[in-house]
Structure 1
Amino acid sequence: MIHKLRRAMRRAYRPTVDLSHPARSPLGSSVVNCVVYEDGVRIPCDNDAGRALRRVRSGSGRSSRNGNSRGFVWIGLHEPTEIEFAVFAELFGLHPLAVEDAVQAHQRPKVQRYGREDGGGTLFTVLKTCRYVSREQQDAAGEVVDTGELMVFTGTDFVITVRHGRHGSLGPLREALEDRPEQLAKGPAAVLHAIADQVVDDYLAVTDAVQHDVDAVETAVFSTDARRVDAGRIYLLKRELLELKRAVGPLERPMQALATAPLPPVGPAIQPYFRDVVDHLARLNEQIGGYDALLDSILQAHLAQVTVAQNEDMRKITAWAAIVAVPTMVCGVYGMNFDHMPELRWTYGYPLVIGVMVTACVLIHRSFRRNGWL
């Protein structure tokens, strides 16, 4: 009830944006870039969202050579505030629930369509970004996988990306797409595919890096000095694999939907590209599951080796205690204060007792060595 009231208040007090005045569609400090593309070619823009959108929609009735929309706007934001994002929500007609998810973050990977009766609407996609953290870069928490979030609003003539986290910059992706104007000319759906493909490629890179860590831990566990292996390192890898699984696992069904189901603005020309993303996700899920099971086996083997090592130590302690027990017993017997004891006053009594103790200790030591206790 409280969340519904908050959403109602946001809708009631959301600032309105007048598209007729460029100054009333400002770009906040969270905006990374605002670009217009026509026929896959970047058009100079003065970083005014309202003017860029008017330019695109004024030519929306025209089509490019391949039959797609002539142009679209791509706006990139990094951790926008609620007030900053309200301007774009009003300008592009974004659904309040999707806006709330984009601002607050901490969402599960998903794809949702907010449609209209006229067949238009917006596709809202949530992706988890991942980055491998080397041992030299790890902080006090010791995280191996650093995660963030990337939200994508895709319409017929616009793409809005909202990034949360310290990594996952889309600048290199934007430049790579601009070198392929024929792909950009396919519209906002091509941008959505490129973003999803880069995120999944980052998953592959992280998974490969984690594999090296798993192999290193496995080698250390089955080395000659396995007791030096830190079990906490194995547990840390399992925890980070769980974090990676939470990013990869829920994404397979949404990508499958984009590859097969009719979800405008993703058309039949782009759907085969999403099938390739689905194949990569299936491979990733298998790899992560395999690494997780392997770490379970490694942890159990490590604990078993520690137990065996402890048993060997106890056997050695027990063997030496048994060897020491013989002279202790003899000395204890001859330490009693009795007047009449055998060999107590004999000249060779002392050497005889010492010889018996040494002989007994040597025989017991050889017996333990023969049985592998020492």
Structure 2
Amino acid sequence: MINCVAYREGVKVADIPVEAISDYLQKPEHFVWVALKDASPEELRQMQEEFTLHDLAVEDAVHGDQRPKVERYGSCLFLFMHLVEPGDLAGGDRCVGEVSVFAGPNFVLSVRNRSKSDFLGVRKRTEAEPDLLRHGSVFVLYALMDAVVDRYFPVLDALEEELEKIEDDIFGKGSARENIERLYRLKRRVMVLRRAVAPLIEAMSELQGPRVPALVANVQEYFRDVLDHLARINGSIDSIRETVNTAIQVNLSMTGIEENAVSKRLASWAAIFGVWTALAGVWGMNFEHMPELKLQYGYALALGTMAAACGTLYWRFRRAGWL
């Protein structure tokens, strides 16, 4: 457990022990915020008893590896999100952190797993805005969601920066194979971020519209702000994916162009040496009745003819851009 704090009308009352949670839940205008890190099943079961959490929601929090989602369980909301950091992307989804948030009318429980980042800044921010914290647990739910989504932006910037470097190398001195490998690795990292963002956009429909839970009915504008951030991130992800696919095609096309240029050069030299070999083969036959073999300057004339023929071919190929 990281902390367990009771609030009244947006103002911190005290850090309280777990045993006192039920007492504060009975007090009007109070709510309790509990934060756990890498919680054990026993700790979660204890929280379930204190807050009367649904079995299915607790099971999702215990096992993890869930798709980002928002679910209703009576008056309680269960939110599951992925915590993505720039250093996590190389290892795929298995290295991505997770956060589960249970929010009820008078409590918030956040459970963070497999993540080095903390939410101390979120608590400090909310406590500095008592007018907003007066909304109760729903404002904490918004603040946690907003903090998670805001951490996606540096990840997105890192992906875009990596893409720009690869694009420069495609037209620079980087090898084609290395560029394609880097593009595919980048594409996999983009997919990790997309799997964190796209389902969350769908899940936000639970917090928007006329039939939203009563818990969030008066603060929908805050969740619209989160949805706007998610939409921007998702649009940038789609743009990166399209650019990566285009870059792969460009890289393959440039490789094909280079191979075609090499083939042209090889074919040109093969034609030149083929003419030389053909003429040398004709005059190299030791037939008796070959008048040019008896000429005084026949050898020089044969070499000159061969050189002229090869030179003409070389000039034509050079003019055509094959050499």
TM-score greater than 0.5 by the shorter chain: yes
CA distance in 2 between partners of 1:257 and 1:188 (Å): 17
| Match for residue 108 of structure 1 among 64, 67, 88 | 67
Are 1:281 and 2:249 an aligned pair?
no
| Match for residue 311 of structure 1 among 249, 257, 260 | 260
Are 1:38 and 2:14 an aligned pair?
no
- What is the RMSD computed on CA atoms of the aligned residues? 2.5
The unaligned stretches of length 5 or more in structure 1 are 1-30, 61-69, 116-120
Look up the match of 2:216.
266
Are 1:126 and 2:80 an aligned pair?
yes
Look up the match of 1:99.
58
| Match for residue 49 of structure 2 among 79, 90, 94 | 90
Give 1:191 deviation, angstroms: 0.7
Deviations 1:36-65 (A, max 9, x none): 22233333325x2121x13422422xxxxx
| Number of aligned residues | 322
CA distance in 1 between partners of 2:116 and 2:318 (Å): 59
CA distance in 2 between partners of 1:162 and 1:347 (Å): 101
CA distance in 1 between partners of 2:214 and 2:284 (Å): 99
CA distance in 1 between partners of 2:267 and 2:34 (Å): 73
Q: Is the 8 A contact 1:252 1:278 kept in 2?
A: yes
Q: Percent same amino acid at aligned positions? A: 38
CA distance in 2 between partners of 1:257 and 1:85 (Å): 25
Q: Which amino acid aligns with 1:127?
A: M
After TM superposition, the structure 1 stretch with the greater mean CA deviation from structure 2, 350-359 or 99-108, is 350-359
CA distance in 2 between partners of 1:169 and 1:356 (Å): 84
Q: Is the 8 A contact 2:64 2:98 kept in 1?
A: yes
Q: Which amino acid aligns with 2:25?
A: R
After TM superposition, the structure 1 stretch with the greater mean CA deviation from structure 2, 70-79 or 89-98, is 70-79
| Match for residue 308 of structure 2 among 359, 365, 374 | 359
Give 1:74 deviation, angstroms: 1.6
CA distance in 2 between partners of 1:354 and 1:33 (Å): 95
Other structure's SS at 1:94 match:
coil
Normalized per residue, which structure has more helix? 2
Q: Is the 8 A contact 2:89 2:189 kept in 1?
A: no
| Match for residue 136 of structure 2 among 182, 187, 190 | 187
Look up the match of 2:159.
210
Q: Is the 8 A contact 1:131 1:147 kept in 2?
A: yes
Are 1:338 and 2:287 an aligned pair?
yes
Look up the match of 1:240.
189
CA distance in 2 between partners of 1:257 and 1:168 (Å): 27
Are 1:290 and 2:239 an aligned pair?
yes
Structure 2 CA distance for partners of 1:273 and 1:77, relative to 1, 3 Å: same
Structure 2 CA distance for partners of 1:366 and 1:229, relative to 1, 3 Å: farther
CA distance in 2 between partners of 1:225 and 1:205 (Å): 26
Q: Is the 8 A contact 1:197 1:277 kept in 2?
A: yes
Structure 2 CA distance for partners of 1:145 and 1:364, relative to 1, 3 Å: farther
Structure 2 CA distance for partners of 1:266 and 1:225, relative to 1, 3 Å: closer
Other structure's SS at 1:344 match:
helix
CA distance in 1 between partners of 2:93 and 2:204 (Å): 26
Q: Is the 8 A contact 1:234 1:299 kept in 2?
A: yes
Look up the match of 2:127.
178
Q: How does 1:4-153 map to 2 (within 5 A)?
A: 31-46=1-16, 48-51=17-20, 53-60=21-28, 70-115=29-74, 121-133=75-87, 147-153=96-102
Q: Is the 8 A contact 2:25 2:107 kept in 1?
A: no
CA distance in 2 between partners of 1:45 and 1:168 (Å): 22
Structure 2 CA distance for partners of 1:305 and 1:162, relative to 1, 3 Å: same
CA distance in 1 between partners of 2:24 and 2:288 (Å): 118
Other structure's SS at 1:266 match:
helix
Deviations 1:59-107 (A, max 9, x none): 22xxxxxxxxx22222112222222321111221111111110011111
Q: Is the 8 A contact 1:226 1:302 kept in 2?
A: no
Q: Is the 8 A contact 1:211 1:291 kept in 2?
A: yes
Other structure's SS at 1:211 match:
helix
Q: How does 1:152-171 map to 2 (within 5 A)?
A: 152-171=101-120
Q: Which amino acid aligns with 2:71?
A: Q
Give 1:213 deviation, angstroms: 2.3
